[in-house]
Amino acid sequence: MSVVEIKVPDIGDFDAVEIIDVLVSVGDQISANQDIITLESDKAAMEIPSELAGTVVALNVAIGDKVSQGDTIMTLETAEKSQTAAIAPKEPVKTETVVEQAATMTQTPPAPVDVSDADLHAQVLVLGSGPGGYTAAFRAADLGKKVVMVERHERIGGVCLNVGCIPSKALLHTAQVINEAAHIGAHGVTFAKPEIDIRKIAATKDGIVNKLTGGLTALAKQRKVTVVRGEGKFSSANSLQVETAEGMQTISFDNCIIAAGSRVTKIPVFPNDDPRMMDSTDALNLDDIPEQLLVIGGGIIGLEMATVYNALGSKITVVEMQDSLIPGADKDIVKPLLKRVQGQYEAIYLNTKVAKIEPEKAGLKVTFEGKDAPDTAVFDKILVAVGRSPNGKLINAEAAGVAVNEYGFIEVDQQMRTNVPHIFAIGDIVGQPMLAHKATHEGKVAAEVISGIKSAFDPMTIPSVAYTDPEVAWMGLTETEAKAQNVDYVKGAFPWAASGRSLSLGRDEGLTKALFDKDSGKIIGAGIVGPNAGELIAEAVLALEMGADAEDIGLTIHPHPTLSETLCFAAEMAEGSITDLMPPRKTLHSK
């Protein structure tokens, strides 16, 4: 017998991550690779396994504790003495870039089944029909492949089209019109208080979704892509079993693209069965407009839904564990949003956690932990928006020999190939950022590689956008990242208070900033906050991909007066050639 300590492995860039569930108890007999605790970051929930089998003799952690790499989780009594010295942290999940070495893994997949036993055969099977999945399926079909696409929901389009990007943007547009109508009173035009008909609002949102998903169905039919509706799980390295309304179907395949996406993260200790608890899907249903709404999570999803419900009449409280809203963005880009919503919402509590939620007849009683938060408060409804978890552990991937790491992510190379050479994976399931526009490009790469085209997913940046009011968008390196990496950069920042177009909109809180490499002058990052920031960031992405420097951007003639010219002005600030403001002392040409 040997007694060993099981410690927190390398968990990537995360530090002081909260434990939301402890999955074992003292005295339990556990197996190797059995999950022992669940951590919650701002990006996803992670299960941490034990590297060894044995008996739990002591637990060093509890729910609510925060742990970092190297902290002791538990003490284990094990008979496997030879393994004690071999205990090492597992490889962290790669959340920012694709893993380049997965194709060299030596795991041997199971032997393929006899395809004659299958109900269908596909040259390319796509599991999931979200933006990445349908893009992969359609591209493969266009390249001459016989394609079958499996979708577990009634309508194709995945989370994005059905319960994510599209319906939320439809509601955000309604919120924008309400807010602009109220704001225009300062310009001398006053409208009556809007009458809110949530059934009509919901019907309009559903109509947009139906139009887009119906269009995808037509495109699938035109391309002769067979759509099978049902829950799909691997049965071997060359077959998938799908539980359909008509019964179980077996689909054999030559190649497969896993586009199974992610799901909302649930906090186990919350009363999730209470109908007053909402996730993002529930919030989009617009069952009612609560008077007092608590949003747990100050990230993109939580703040977008807060924007909607605030415009529709709810009193909003936001609680965020980190010291800033939208933790992935620079604080100066988030600051104008924070300042604006602080004047609109009941409260925003940063560095605060929800310790307990107790269902009561009068509402949901919440206990907070944070120096600026009250001890308790009661809310009519609560929206939990703490991130999404990948579905890698829900598709029986091990039957196909596909490696899924402890967090549920599937590691791939730059051709989107898993450790099984003829099985590919794309989208949320391969890692951060979990964004539809990332998945679509990955889907094209996978389809093209299968079709014999030399293709790789190697973007220089993937932009992020929060469709709040004002919008927040960024791409490339943030200032926080540049400082952490000791990058020698020059910043050009242009406040929208000096933009004629912004002032004409009655919005002077915006900011456009761009970061340039000090030696080459090339753009390496940008951040924009203000109306339509999500549209404006695309120019900065193109500039980075094309290797543009500050002079290139500054010499590009932008129409005036527009919001787009603020990127030009930011470049001129970095160059020192700005005339609309006084140039800064530190420029690209400073010694």
Active-site positions? 560
For 22-59, give the secondary structure using H, E and C.
ECCCCCCEECCCCEEEEEECCCCEEEEECCCCEEEEEE
Q: What backbone torsions phi and psi does residue 548 show, to the nearest 5 degrees?
A: -70, 145
The one-letter code for the residue type at 457 is: F
Measure the CA–CA gap between 39 and 37, rounded to whole angstroms: 7
* CA torsion angle 508 538 568 543 (round to 10): 160
Count of CB atoms within 10 A of residue 4's CB? 20
- Decide: helix, strand or coil at residue 511: strand
Task: State both tokens at 450.
Answer: 């299968």
Measure the CA–CA gap between 165 and 466, rounded to whole angstroms: 11
- Please name every residue paired with 223 in a beta bridge, in sequence order, or none if there are none: none
* CA torsion angle 405 408 412 414 (round to 10): -130
How far, CA to CA in Å, does 180 sit from each of 204, 240, 340, 345, 506?
20, 50, 14, 17, 10
DSSP state of 399: G
The one-letter code for the residue type at 413 is: D
Kindly tell me the burial class for residue 15, based on how many C-beta atoms sit within 10 Å of its own C-beta (0-12, 13-18, 19 or more).
Answer: exposed
- Decide: helix, strand or coil at residue 541: helix
Measure the CA–CA gap between 454 and 468, rounded to whole angstroms: 39
State the residue for tokens 């019964």.
Answer: 247
How far, CA to CA in Å, does 316 sit from each of 199, 276, 342?
21, 15, 10
E strands in 396-546? 423-425, 464-466, 471-476, 489-495, 511-517, 523-530
